[in-house]
Every structure is written in C-alpha cells, then in structure tokens.
Structure 1
Amino acid sequence: MAGMMEHSTRVNQIPGAALQMQRELQWFKEVERIVHPKDKETTNKKGFTPRQLFTQNHEKMMKEGEKWMKDTATSCTVVGILIVTIMFQVAFTLPGDNNRDPGLFRVFMISDALSFFLSSTSVLIFLGILTSRYTEDDFLKNLPRQMIIGLFTLFCSIATMMITFSSALLIILDEQLRISIPLICLGGVPIFFFLWIQFPILKDMIISTYGPSIFETGK
C-alpha cells in the first residue's frame, strides 16, 4: 500500500511535483522503517516488491518532479548570473567623487562583494541541480537541500544588492533623503515581487525537508 500512488487531497495541495515526490518517499520510508524486514522483499501477485511497485507507480511523478526542479533552477540561474554580472561591473565603477562619505563607501564595497560571492555560489548550486542524476532517493534529501541552499544564497545576494544600490544612491545624491528614498523604494519593487513569488517555495521546502515526520504531523 505504501508503494501505491496516493491520490489524496493532502498530497495534491503540496506545491510542486518535486515536493509531492518527496512526500511520497517520506511516507514509503516511514512505513519501511516500522515493518518486518521480510515484508520489504515480499512480492504481490504480479511479482513486484514494495520498492519496485513504488518505482512503477511514481514514474510519471518523478519525471514531473525532475522537470519542476530543472525549470526552477534554470530561472534562478538566470537571475543569479544577472546579479553576478552587475555586481562585478559595479565593483569597478565607484560612485561619487573623492569627497564621498567613507562609511557609506565601505558599506557599498562590502555589500557589493557579498552580493557577488553569494550570487556566484547560488549559480554553482543551481548548476549542480541541473546536472544531478535525479534518482528516487535524490528527491528525499539531496535535491531539496541543494534547492534550499541555492534559494537562500540567492535571496541574500538580492538583499545585499539592494544595500549596494541604496548606498550608491546616497553617495551620489549626497544623502538627499527626499530624492534617494523614493528611488530606492521604486528600485526594490521588482525585487520584492521576485521574493514574493519564490519565497513560499523556500519555506515549503524547509518545512518538508527538516520539519516533523509524517506520522508526527498526523498526530
């Protein structure tokens, strides 16, 4: 029964085929952990073991999960590459003149360097997801863990990029808050929408991967 496909409303409410596959694997592993060892190799009338039955019934979900992972990793890789390119160029384009505030300039350089390294890390992680083997067990921990780290580093790089943008505006406009604050808010609108769309994925993956087990959740 654990190897059969679950068509319950609870599974269908989980966003993304990869997280649905992860939940099915978690359910199978929990049942496998508590049954007698001999039951793991017991066959049904068609000669399938529980693991073989699971693989057969979840083949379509596994392909959909692979496509979902690759599509998400591809879109995030594009964003990460854009940030890497921008932050690399910004490092050699210093704002203001020689009379700029040294404190703001220090914030500008530190945030620029952090954004560059964080976005570079996220790109490498997403490339690792794109080149993964995509076996069944990868959906249990390996792929979700990589996606969590990739999204987290990408979000941090976006945040530090906004700090770089804000400090550069304050330097160029000589800390004229009436002008710089509205510009900073306008520049953060598209970034806010990106975080609003992608952050729920990160939250769901963290809960699904590191939250309580299925049996504990059902209590």
Structure 2
Amino acid sequence: MFLQTAIFRAVEQGQVDFIYHLFKVYPGFEIQDGKGKTVLPYAVECRQAKIFNLLLRMLKESGRTLILIPDTFNNSILHSAANLSANLNHIQGAALQMQSELQWFKEVESNLPVMASELMNNTDRMTARELFTKNHKELVKEGEKSMKATATSCTVVGALIVTMMFAAAFTIPGGNIQDKGYPTFLGMLTSRYSEEDFLKSLPTKMIFGLFTLFFSIAAMMIAFSSALILMLDKQSWIVFPTILLATLPIASFVWMQFPLLRDTCISTYGPGKLGKK
C-alpha cells in the first residue's frame, strides 16, 4: 500500500527520475490503484508528458507492445486523456486551455492503436471522444466568450486607429455586418466555435488579428510622431513630452496583450505536448 501511494504520488508530481529507476530495475513491474488504473493512464490523466514519453520509450526498448488494459470501469488510456485536467491554471485564458486539452488528447491518441478510440467505458457507455466532448462542454463555452471578448476589445482599438489615421473614413474598411454591427475584418467574432476549431483555426485568427493590430499601432505612432515633429520643428520641449504621453496608453495596451500573442504562437506552432509536432 505504501509503495503504491509513493509511485502514484511520484507520477502526479512528475518525478521522472524516480519512475525511470523503478522501471529500469523492474521492467515488468505493474501496479494499480484501487480502480484498476495503472501508471501509464494515470500519467495521462495528470498530464505528465515526460513520464508518458518515458514509459512509452521504455516499452519500445524492452520490445514490448503497448497493451490497452482497461481499468475496473473499462476506461482505456484514451479515456484518461478525455478527463478535464485539474491543472489548467497556468495556461492563460479558456481558449488556450481548450486548445491545450485538445492537443493532449490528440497526441495521446496518435500513440495508441486505433481500437483505443472505439472502446466504450461501463459508467457512461461512451467512447473516449464522446467523453471528451461531455467533460469539456463548459470549457468550450468559456473559450468562445474569451475569444469574443478579446476580439471585441481589439476591434475597438482598431476602430480608433482607423479613425485617427483616416479622418475622412467614418466606418471601418469593409463595412459592418448590418444585423450585429461587428466589423467584418475580425473573423473571430463570426466564426463557429466547435471543439476542433480551437486546435488551429481560431488560434491562427487570433495570432493574425493581434499581429496586424500591433503593426497598425506601430504605424500610427510613427505617423503621429512624424507629423508632430514636422509641425513643431523647433519646439522639441513640447514634441517629445507629447509623444511620450501619447505612447503610454498604447504601450500599456500592447504590454497587456503581447503575452497572449506569445502564448498563442507557442501553443499553436510550438513543439507540442509530448515534445514533438
């Protein structure tokens, strides 16, 4: 009992060295919790990618195949990946949390035989994919709200930039969607929000939207500063403080939104949950 608790606690905390030495000394060692769940699906449930990779590699090195032994309730390893992670607080925003969960599920699925996606558990009579949809229903809704809120706030800033740079333009280029009044150049506001869209489509639109917004802000500040310098050529004591004051709110907005752009880029085009794409 003590050994069982220690091993599962080590998996939960991501103690890779402990697990490595344990299974190096006892290659065929198997231990289960009270529900019949072994170490590998527990590592999947705890989102411990390094331990999952380690166990898969050690199985291959020993010449053994990955056997899909379900637990007492007929839950497979993929069912463990379908559970909502309890450790999502380190990821910024519900949209990126949903993307992270999707990436984890798909990468675990890619390492398992096809039959894993067809196995139904006993408690819900669901496949792993159906269980994933059930467990992440609320997160999808929160992700939709998060993305729409970000898109709306960026739309307001974009509208201000257009108004300042093109004084003659009283509407945003492209016009407005008449029934809702949303600008047409930000597709996130009118996109569908299914589970799969959080994997690539929506994050890509977010990246493109934030990047073009930052570029527009930089162009606006260059134009504003150049015009001010030309008009007040010999009054630098007015020019530079004015530019500095005008830059402060812009800089604060960029400072708040840039981490979102960085995290979205890394999450979408980075190495993936298991260290590969």
Aligned pairs (5 A) from 1:69-218? 69-89=147-167, 124-126=184-186, 128-216=187-275
CA distance in 2, matches of 1:19, 1:52: 21
Determine helix, strand or coil for the equivalent of 1:81: helix
Q: Which residue identity lines up with residue 28 of structure 1 in the other structure?
A: F
Q: Does 1:58 align with 2:136?
A: yes
Q: Which residue of 2 aligns with 1:3?
A: 82
Q: Which runs of 5+ in 1 are unaligned?
A: 92-115, 118-122
Cα offsets for 1:100-155 (capped at 9, x unmatched): xxxxxxxxxxxxxxxx98xxxxx6442x1011110100000100000000000000
Q: Which residue of 2 aligns with 1:99?
A: none
Q: Which residue of 2 aligns with 1:94?
A: none
CA distance in 2, matches of 1:41, 1:170: 68
Cα offsets for 1:83-105 (capped at 9, x unmatched): 112211179xxxxxxxxxxxxxx
CA distance in 2, matches of 1:205, 1:124: 22
Please state how far the C-alpha of 1:179 moved relative to its aligned partner.
Answer: 2.5
Q: Which residue identity lines up with residue 198 of structure 2 in the other structure?
A: F
Q: Which residue of 2 aligns with 1:28?
A: 105
Q: Which residue identity lines up with residue 55 of structure 1 in the other structure?
A: T
Cα offsets for 1:34-81 (capped at 9, x unmatched): 110111111111210111000000001110000000111011111111
CA distance in 1, matches of 2:221, 2:184: 22
Q: Share of identical aligned residues, percent?
A: 57
Alignment: residue pair count: 185
Change in Cα spacing, 1:213 to 1:12, as seen in structure 2 (3 Å) is same
CA distance in 1, matches of 2:210, 2:218: 12
Cα offsets for 1:6-41 (capped at 9, x unmatched): 102xx2110100000000000001011111011111
Change in Cα spacing, 1:175 to 1:166, as seen in structure 2 (3 Å) is farther
TM-score using structure 1 length: 0.80
CA distance in 1, matches of 2:238, 2:198: 48
CA distance in 2, matches of 1:164, 1:202: 24
Change in Cα spacing, 1:90 to 1:162, as seen in structure 2 (3 Å) is farther
Please state how far the C-alpha of 1:174 moved relative to its aligned partner.
Answer: 2.1
Determine helix, strand or coil for the equivalent of 1:143: helix
Cα offsets for 1:145-177 (capped at 9, x unmatched): 000000000001001100011011011102543
Q: Contact conserved, 1:170 with 1:180, CA < 8 A, in 2?
A: yes
Q: Contact conserved, 1:125 with 1:146, CA < 8 A, in 2?
A: no
CA distance in 2, matches of 1:185, 1:85: 21
Query: Which has the bigger relative contact order, CA under 8 A and spacing at least 6?
Result: 1
Please state how far the C-alpha of 1:178 moved relative to its aligned partner.
Answer: 3.0
CA distance in 2, matches of 1:154, 1:35: 41
Q: Which runs of 5+ in 2 are unaligned?
A: 1-79, 174-182
Q: Which residue identity lines up with residue 21 of structure 1 in the other structure?
A: M
